[in-house]
């Protein structure tokens, strides 16, 4: 065999090796959640048992406990409700703002756009202490309305940024023609630009919703009653009873809550990445 | 109405919201840091630099500051090397690439708190799968393996490991985006001129990818340095503050310990890093000519 072909086979094998190693390492915790979700407690907690095998027949008890005897479903519902409201608030504020920055404010708008993008970098861990006071003063403590109020501050900046570049890709002639036909500038925005921006809007919807499900610090700080929790806090804090972890149910909960979010985020990932790269990729 | 006026009007609600929920709390955080506010009391007195003086003298704070820096640099170094390798392997299409990408991305797209719980089970003091494998391979006697989250250095390594696990996917997709933006002709021309894999990598690909690598690094720094979820769930800062970071200490002091003023003062130490990162990001964006 010629040397070139051998080197090629070597390169392919190396690539396969790298991919397999990383995929296994990165996906392992989720694989491990699947295994634990369906194992009997006695099987989980017998140190001598090979943890990779089902030493006893699989069981649905963990799922039954999770859905029947914990507030898991309630947390999912809280999260979905907060997610929906936050998405609506985000769209109402970010759509006009992004359009204004893309079309109406000229060069000045581009700078402001960057400034808004930078506020996305401000982390919850910097603001959660004063915001906990603000939330308490407004009487929103311990309710989901506390996070409904605060989460848009995390979703709006990046959404404006995403929508801004989306609007810039729409030809200006579209609105010009509509305005010649008698629509006002704002009318043209509502009737012409918004309807053809569905895919940009969908990106913002998915981004905002997933951010709500992923957030931890604010929800942990503002809400303490078990029944008002968001799913990302309820699972780690309340499925742990005393010092006993219900590992089977805990892992099932993580899996059930993660996979749908992961799936949708993955669908729109390339667009989020285009936003994250701040124009460093052309 | 002129376009400029309408623009300002359409823009105002979002800016107002951001000012009220990001700008105002930030100002409050600074005010708190110089005051004596506590949960459960309504008093508000300025105490000058008192909070900073007591924080700087506390061993917990020094440990937290040091840990934050070590965790961030440690994790980010590993992340950059690994994600570079992984993005090269992922670049060319192959059968099942979409599915492999989904699996690789899971740590980033799933909620952090839930992924970290998965690690907590993997690193459990008694039922850890890592322990089981090491015992099965006779590295340790049964019950002789260390507790991964119970010993300071192992706990620190675990926190870094989980940060890497979470950020490698994010960094990889950013680098993939950067890689796909390099015109194919350049590496091809280089290889015709006789440049090997390493030379192409170090003299063409990496220099051309510098802006995108810096973006990945800057986000990575923010996500690690300001994160408290991983530490809070995995170790709660323990054992003996050995994995405490600035954000987790701010939470422990300000919220759990009711001392809002001290908590706010601790979290203000995140600001210099944030400002530096924002500055670097502006420079990268500027070079890419968006500003």
* Nearest CB partner across the interface for A217, out of B10, B173, B228: B228
Which residues numbered 61-90 in A keep a CB inside 8 Å of some CB on B? Answer: none
Give the A window 36-55 contacts with B, CB below 8 Å.
36, 44-45, 47-48, 50-52
Which tens digit of pLDDT belongs to each residue from B9-36?
A: 888 999 999 999 999 999 999 998 988 8
Q: Where in chain A is the domain with CATH 1.10.3720.10?
A: 70-276
Q: Do A47 and B8 touch (CB under 8 A)?
A: no
Confidence band, pLDDT 50/70/90 cuts, at residue B166: very high
Q: For residue B18, give the nearest of A156, A235, A274 by CB distance.
A: A156
Q: Do B10 and A104 touch (CB under 8 A)?
A: yes
Is the Cβ–Cβ distance between B119 and B113 less than 8 Å? no
Q: Which residues of A touch B251 (CB under 8 A)?
A: 125, 128, 217, 220-221
Which of A168, A271, A172 is CA-nearest to residue B290? A168
Buried-state track B142-162, b at ≥16 Cβ within 10 A, e below 16? eeebeebbeeeebbbebbbbb
What does each C-alpha distance from A42 to A57, A150, A243, A246 come to in angstroms? 11, 43, 18, 12
* Structure tokens, A11: 């390169």
Nearest to B229 among A122, A126, A217 (CB): A217
Give the architecture-level CATH label for domain B58-287.
Answer: Orthogonal Bundle (1.10)
Inter-chain CB proximity B102 and A111 less than 8 Å: no
Q: What is the DSSP string of chain A?
A: --HHHHHHHHHHHHHHHHHHHHHHHHHHHHHHHHHHHTS-HHHHT-TTS-TTS-SS---SHHHHHHHHHSSHHHHHHHHHHHHHHHHHHHHHHHHHHHHIIIIISHHHHHHHHHHHHHHTTS-HHHHHHHHHHHHHHTT-TTSHHHHHHHTHHHHHHHHHHHHHHHHHTS-THHHHHHHHTT--HHHHIIIIIHHHTHHHHHHHHHHHHHHHHH--HHHHHH--SGGG--HHHHHHHHSEETTEE-HHHHHHHHHHHHHHHHHHHHHHHHHHHHHHTTTS--
Q: If you average pLDDT over residues B70-93, what whole number do you get? A: 92
Which three-class secondary structure state does DSSP give residue B259? Answer: coil
**Mutate which of B8, B14, B97 to test chain A, going by most A C-beta atoms within 10 A?**
B14
**pLDDT exceeding 90 applies to what percent of chain B?**
43
Q: Cα separation of B27 and A221, whole Å?
A: 19
- DSSP 8-state symbol, B147: P
β-bridge mates for residue A241, sequence order: A244
Closest CA to B200 of B211, B210, B191, B212: B191
Q: What is the DSSP letter of B46?
A: B
B281 touches chain A (CB under 8 A): yes
| Confidence grade of residue B76 (pLDDT, cut at 50, 70, 90) | very high
B172 confidence band (pLDDT: 50, 70, 90): very high
Mean pLDDT across B97-105: 90
A26 vs B107: CB contact, 8 Å cut-off?
yes
pLDDT of residue A2: 67
Which positions 136-165 of A are in contact with B (Cβ < 8 Å)?
Answer: 149-150, 152-153, 156-157, 160
3-state secondary structure of B110: coil
Q: Is A134 on the interface with B (CB under 8 A)?
A: yes
What's the alpha-carbon Rg for chain B, to the nearest Å?
Answer: 23
Rounded Cα distance between B190 and B213, Å, is 22
Are the C-beta atoms of residues B149 and B158 closer than 8 Å to each other?
A: yes
Task: State the pLDDT at residue A90.
Answer: 96
Q: With beta carbons under 8 A apart, name residues in chain B contacting A103.
A: 3, 7
Asked if A238 and A69 touch (Cβ cutoff 8 Å), the reply is: no
Q: With an 8 Å Cβ cutoff, is A99 touching chain B?
A: yes
C-alpha–C-alpha distance, residues A146 and A141, integer Å:
6
Structure tokens at B213: 């690598």
Contact A232, A216 (CB under 8 A): yes
State the average pLDDT over residues B77-82: 94
Which pLDDT value is given to residue B291? Answer: 39
| A157 or B178, which is more confident | A157
* A277 within 8 A of B212, measured Cβ to Cβ: yes
Residue B178 contacts residue B214 (beta carbons within 8 Å): no
- Please tell me the predicted confidence (pLDDT) of residue A282: 47
Query: Please, what is the average pLDDT of chain B?
Result: 88
Say if CB A113 and CB A164 are below 8 A apart.
Answer: yes
Let me know: does A113 contact A161? Beta carbons within 8 Å.
yes
Distance, in Å, from the CA atom of B100 to the CA atom of B70, rounded to the nearest integer, reads: 31
Whole-number pLDDT of residue A244 = 65
The confidence score (pLDDT) of residue A242 equals 60
- Low-confidence stretches of chain A (pLDDT < 70) are 1-3, 241-244, 278-282
Whether chain B has a CB inside 8 Å of the CB on A34: the answer is no
Percent residues over pLDDT 70 in chain B? 98
Mean pLDDT of B255-276: 90
Window 40-79 of B: residues touching A by CB (8 A cutoff) are none
Spell A190-212 as b/e; 16+ CB within 10 A means b: eebbbeebeebbebbbbbbbbbb
Whether the CB of A116 is below 8 Å from some CB of chain B: the reply is yes
A 174-203: CB under 8 A from B: 185-186, 189
Rg (CA), chain A: 24
**Chain A touched by B186 (CB under 8 Å):** no
Q: What is the C-alpha to C-alpha distance for residues A85 and B134, in angstroms, rounded to an integer? A: 48
Rounded-to-10 torsion of CA B42, B48, B52, B58: -70
For domain A70-276, which architecture applies? Orthogonal Bundle (1.10)
- Nearest chain A residue to B290 by CA distance is A279
Least confident piece of the model among A198-212, B176-190, B229-243: B176-190
Q: How confident is the model at residue B165 (pLDDT cuts 50, 70, 90)?
A: very high
Please provide residue A48's backbone torsions phi and psi, each rounded to the nearest 5 degrees.
-75, -25
Per-residue pLDDT at B260 exceeds 80:
yes
| Cβ(B31)–Cβ(A125) below 8 Å | no
B82–chain A Cβ distance below 8 A for any pair: yes
Contacts of A273 in chain B (CB under 8 A): 173-174, 177
What Å distances lie between residue A101 and A98, A105, A168, B176, CA to CA? Answer: 5, 6, 9, 29
């Amino acid at each position: 065999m010629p040397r070139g072909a051998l080197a090629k086979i070597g390169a392919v094998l190396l690539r396969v090796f790298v991919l397999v190693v990383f995929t296994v390492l990165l996906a392992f915790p989720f694989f491990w959640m699947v295994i634990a979700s369906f194992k009997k407690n006695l099987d989980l907690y017998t140190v001598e048992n090979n943890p990779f095998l089902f030493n006893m027949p699989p069981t649905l008890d963990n799922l039954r406990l999770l859905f029947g005897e914990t507030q898991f479903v309630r947390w999912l519902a809280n999260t979905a409700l907060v997610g929906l409201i936050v998405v609506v608030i985000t769209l109402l504020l970010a759509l006009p703002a992004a359009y204004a920055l893309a079309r109406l404010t000229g060069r000045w708008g581009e700078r402001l756009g960057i400034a808004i993008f930078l506020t996305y970098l401000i982390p919850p861990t910097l603001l959660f202490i004063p915001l906990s006071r603000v939330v308490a003063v407004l009487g929103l403590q311990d309710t989901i309305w506390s996070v409904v109020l605060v989460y848009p501050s995390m979703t709006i900046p990046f959404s404006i940024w995403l929508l801004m570049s989306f609007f810039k890709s729409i030809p200006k002639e579209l609105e010009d023609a509509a305005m010649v036909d008698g629509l006002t500038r704002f009318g043209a925005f509502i009737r012409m630009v918004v309807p053809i921006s569905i895919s940009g809007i969908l990106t913002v919807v998915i981004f905002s919703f997933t951010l709500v499900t992923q957030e931890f610090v604010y929800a942990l700080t503002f809400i303490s009653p078990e029944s008002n929790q968001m799913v990302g806090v309820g699972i780690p804090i309340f499925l742990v009873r005393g010092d006993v972890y219900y590992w089977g149910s805990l892992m099932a909960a993580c899996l059930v809550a993660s996979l749908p979010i992961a799936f949708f985020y993955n669908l729109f990932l390339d667009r989020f990445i285009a936003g994250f790269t701040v124009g460093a990729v052309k | 109405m002129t376009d400029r006026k309408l623009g300002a009007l359409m823009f105002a609600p979002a800016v107002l919201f951001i000012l009220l929920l990001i700008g105002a709390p930030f100002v409050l955080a600074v005010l708190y840091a110089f005051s004596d506010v506590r949960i459960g009391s309504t008093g508000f007195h300025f105490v000058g630099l008192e909070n900073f003086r007591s924080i700087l003298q506390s061993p917990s704070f020094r440990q937290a500051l040091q840990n934050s820096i070590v965790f961030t640099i440690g994790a980010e170094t590993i992340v950059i090397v690994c994600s570079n390798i992984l993005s090269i392997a992922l670049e060319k299409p192959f059968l099942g690439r979409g599915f492999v990408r989904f699996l690789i991305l899971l740590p980033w797209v799933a909620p952090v708190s839930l992924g970290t719980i998965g690690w907590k089970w993997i690193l459990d003091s008694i039922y850890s799968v890592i322990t089981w494998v090491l015992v099965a391979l006779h590295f340790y006697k049964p019950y002789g393996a260390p507790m991964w989250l119970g010993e300071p250095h192992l706990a620190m390594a675990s926190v870094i490991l989980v940060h890497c696990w979470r950020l490698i996917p994010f960094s990889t997709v950013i680098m993939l985006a950067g890689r796909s933006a390099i015109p194919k002709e350049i590496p091809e021309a280089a290889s015709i001129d006789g440049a090997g894999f390493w030379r192409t990598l170090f003299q063409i690909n990496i220099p051309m990818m510098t802006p995108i690598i810096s973006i990945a690094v800057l986000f990575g720094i923010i996500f690690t340095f300001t994160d408290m979820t991983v530490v809070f769930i995995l170790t709660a800062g323990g054992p003996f503050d050995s994995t405490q970071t600035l954000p987790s200490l701010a939470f422990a002091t300000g919220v759990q310990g009711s001392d809002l003023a001290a908590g706010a003062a601790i979290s203000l130490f995140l600001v210099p890093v944030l400002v530096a990162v924002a500055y670097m990001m502006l420079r990268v964006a500027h070079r890419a000519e968006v500003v």
